[in-house]
Every structure is written in structure tokens, then in C-alpha cells.
Amino acid sequence: MEVADEKTPEHAGEGLERQIKAKEGERIARYIRDDAFVIALAIEGKQLTSEELAAKIDGLGLHGTSHIQLIIGGSLGLDPSILQRADYLLSFSRMTFPHQLMRVILLEQIYRAYKINAGEPYHK
């Protein structure tokens, strides 16, 4: 599911940025399932190797988790309410990446995790 970013003026102050993140957070929250394990991408999250991410996903399935939702924030990051709702904070780097690039990186790592868990040779 994709939730559109709020338009952010180029020289927005902290107060306006908080309001924008709150609006985005409200829209994101509407799509979070009550029974989902929520993984939010955040700079302050835990960095994992591909193998560790594969093990995390596999472990969730083994413990009966049938719905995993991964959340990427907008250009200002995620609202604190979404970070608090998250069951796990994941970081790919301490650097900031464009939203569209992060989607590709995340999808590739999910694909890689499933290949690792299936014992297939994609991961080297």
C-alpha cells in the first residue's frame, strides 16, 4: 500500500514539519492491520545482515505471524506515533536515501531473504 507524502514547503519550520509528519502518520495508521507485525524503517533502528533479516522473517512465520507490514517514511521520516506502533525498527544505514530508492532496496532484501530461507542460490 502506498500513502502519498504531504507536500512540504522548502523552508518549512519545525512546527510545520511536525504537523506534516502527524498527517502522514494518521494516513499510514489507517492501513496498519491490528494483527500485523509492523517493521518500520528508521535510521535509529537495528541494522541487520541479509541472513539476519531472513532469520527474522522466518522466525516470525514460525511463531505464527501471518501478516508483516513494512513501513517507509516520507521525506521527513515517520511520525513518532508510527514508530511507537512498530514492533521492530529496522535500519539499512545511518545515511538518508530517496524514498523510491529505499523501496527498491527493501524489495530486493525481502526477495533475498525468501531465497535464503528457501536454500536457493540467489544469495552469495
The binding site for S-adenosyl-L-methionine consists of: 41, 73, 92-97
Q: How far apart are CA 80 and CA 9, in angstroms?
A: 21
β pairing state of 68-71 and 88-91 = unpaired
118 has which bridge partners? none
| Region for residue 77 given its phi and psi (left: phi exceeds 0; alpha: psi -120 to 50; beta: otherwise) | left
Give binding residues as ranges. Answer: 41, 73, 92-97
